[in-house]
């Protein structure tokens, strides 16, 4: 398995990103349905124009089988960048072979290169497989040092 930095100017990598995000969106642990035509049309242009994206692709025997999509943020409390893992997914037929772990290791290496203070991610409370992987590589839930308690993920549609 090769894990590489995606080059969004490369058509092969563009197709790989679309295929893998569509597969992840279709997964029960994703959105439970594939990407709409509108999202399929806008995904690559949107990512290409994003100034802080870092995308990694895992290839096995020349086929794209896994992806990590990350966005660089900035911690004001640490005055250092941080890296958020927005998507991590491996095609079902290729799971359990260490590919998710390899992708996460690549994310951690990129975070170190960028001088990040942390890597962050959100994971569903019922997604025990992903949680096992994250725990195994050293992630822990919430921000235990904060007097405000665990950090909760909130959102409001715009
Ligand atoms: C989560 C996901 C990316 C893991 O990828 P993967 O390539 O199968 O994971 P790995 O083979 O690298 O497994 C690494 C560790 O994860 C855990 N893990 C993997 N599969 C597991 C399973 N079926 N049950 C329990 N733990 C499991 C184990 O801790 C494993 O370590 P080990 O092999 O030393 O036991 C993959 O299952 C996936 O794409 N799931 C759907 C999308 C998703 O949920 N993404 C995460 C969103 S937050």
CA of residue 90 to ligand 1 center, whole Å: 8
Confidence of residue 150 (pLDDT cuts 50, 70, 90): confident
Tell me, in angstroms, the distance from the centre of ligand 1 to residue 105's CA.
13
- Residue 34 scores a pLDDT above 90: yes
| Contact residues for 88 (Cβ-Cβ < 8 A; gap 6+) | 67, 68, 69, 100, 103, 104, 121, 130
pLDDT exceeds 90 at position 146: no
How far is residue 104's CA from residue 67's CA, in Å, rounded to a whole number? 10
Q: According to the model, what pLDDT value does residue 110 have?
A: 98
Which pTM does this prediction carry? 0.96
At 142 the pLDDT is 80
**How far, in Å, is the centroid of ligand 1 from the Cα of 147?**
32
Contact in structure between 17 and 43 (CB atoms under 8 Å): yes
For residues 17 and 47, the answer to whether their CB atoms sit within 8 Å is yes
Order across the sheet with 119-121: list the strands.
2-5, 53-60, 63-75, 80-90, 119-121
Whose CA is closest to atom 12 on ligand 1?
98
pLDDT tops 90 at residue 151: no
Pocket of ligand 1 (CB under 6 A): 24, 27, 29-30, 88-90, 95-101, 123, 127, 129-130, 132-133, 136
Question: How does the average pLDDT of the chain come out, rounded?
Answer: 96
User: How far does the centroid of ligand 1 lie from the alpha carbon of residue 78, in Å?
Assistant: 31
pLDDT band at 144 (very low <50, low <70, confident <90, very high): low
48-104 pLDDT per residue, tens: 999 999 999 999 999 999 999 999 999 999 999 999 999 999 999 999 999 999 999
Structure tokens at 9: 């100017």
HSE-up (13 A, CA, CB side) for residue 56: 27
% of residues, the chain, pLDDT over 70: 99
């Amino acid at each position: 398995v090769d894990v590489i930095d995606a080059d969004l100017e490369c058509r092969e990598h563009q197709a790989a990103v679309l295929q893998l995000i569509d597969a992840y969106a279709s997964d029960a642990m994703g959105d439970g349905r594939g990407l709409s035509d509108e999202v399929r049309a806008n995904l690559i242009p949107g990512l290409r124009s994003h100034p802080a994206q870092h995308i990694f692709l895992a290839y096995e025997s020349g086929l794209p089988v896994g992806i990590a999509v990350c966005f660089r943020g900035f911690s004001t409390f640490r005055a250092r960048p941080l890296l958020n893992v927005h998507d991590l997914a491996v095609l079902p037929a290729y799971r359990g072979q260490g590919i998710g772990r390899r992708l996460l290791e690549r994310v951690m290496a990129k975070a170190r290169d960028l001088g990040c203070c942390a890597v962050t991610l959100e994971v569903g409370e019922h997604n025990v497989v992903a949680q096992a992987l994250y725990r195994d590589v050293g992630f822990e839930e919430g921000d235990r040092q904060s007097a405000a308690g665990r950090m909760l993920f909130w959102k409001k549609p715009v």
